[in-house]
Amino acid sequence: MIDIIVTVCVLISLIFSILGVIGLFRFPDFYTRIHAAGLVGSFGILFMGAAVLIYAAGLFLSGEGAWLNFGAHILIALVVTVITGTTSTHAIARSAYRSGNRPDAKSDALKDDIESMKRREEKKR
Amino acid sequence: MKSIFPAILAGIAAFIIYLILSAGSALPNDGILLWSSAELIIGLILSIITGLICRKIWVGKSYRMANPLRWLLLIVYIIPFLIELIIANLTVAWKVITGRNIRPGIVKLTPGMKTDAGALLLSASITYQPGTASVDVDEESRELYVHCLDIGSDPAAVRQPGNIFSRIDLVKWIRRITE
């Protein structure tokens, strides 16, 4: 029973990761590709972690000792990937915009404000 | 003397993480609860060193988030966040499959957060959802510039902070947690 649930979780994770990679090729410009990569970073990783957690629960039910090790490590890994994933996505998008990569978009609210914002930050430094 | 409190906090955090990572290391004849005594001693030494190294990196000015009730709310916040995450993931996956309804744009958001922690939590929540990513932050007014995969036919409608998430108003939740 637990084997089936673990397999389903891994399959969902794989499906979303594959869709994310396909989106990397299909989407038009840099900023929209970030969203496709976010698909891998959120559901791809979360469901893989859920699969390991459920596997650890299965170990606990069958009375093996390694479940605590599995569960604790994957919990820490999930928290760390969530934090570093968001940080790196924001860092990539911010540095791309500041180095002159403009999105091909209908409305761009940042275009008017970026120069004054840069100047203010220069002054502070 | 001023940096002693951050050093202790960083040391405690490092020790807790070490305890979680080494849980279940107790030997049959030697160990306290889940941990063997050797692991505990090594963890204590390492966390003291970590606290000493980190004492100058810590830049926290306010200890508003040190309230345990806020941490409890932060854990409860996972539930509405996960519901939003499911909706966002399915929407973006459907857009990848069909290739339709891709109308990207950068939207200026004025959530009116009063603390840095609130702005951090909001921008992190926005970035983690596929379909929206915060590109830049105005550090003084805490305004966010959010790149959306689909701003819809009417860009002005997205500009309201409540509309950046599809169903649940997470901005209100974040305000409850951090203010």
The complex's ipTM works out to 0.86
- Domain borders along chain B are 4-59, 68-178
* B127·A104 Cβ contact <8 A: no
Q: Which residue of B has its CA nearest to A115?
A: B138
A98-118 per-position pLDDT tens digit: 888 888 777 777 777 777 877
Mutate which: A48, A107, A117, vs B, most B CBs within 10 A: A107
* A39·B138 Cβ contact <8 A: no
The token pair that represents B24 in the structure block: 């279940």
* Segment A44-67 mean pLDDT: 88
Tell which residue, A72, A53, A70, A50, has the closest CA to residue B16. Answer: A72
- A35-44, A66-75, B5-14, B145-154: which has the minimum mean pLDDT? B145-154
A83-95 per-position pLDDT tens digit: 999 999 999 999 9
- Rounded to whole angstroms, the Cα distance separating B128 from B134 reads 9
- Rounded to whole angstroms, the Cα distance separating B15 from B33 reads 16
Mean pLDDT per block of 10 residues along chain B (179 residues) reads 74 88 74 79 91 76 76 89 90 87 82 82 89 85 84 66 73 82
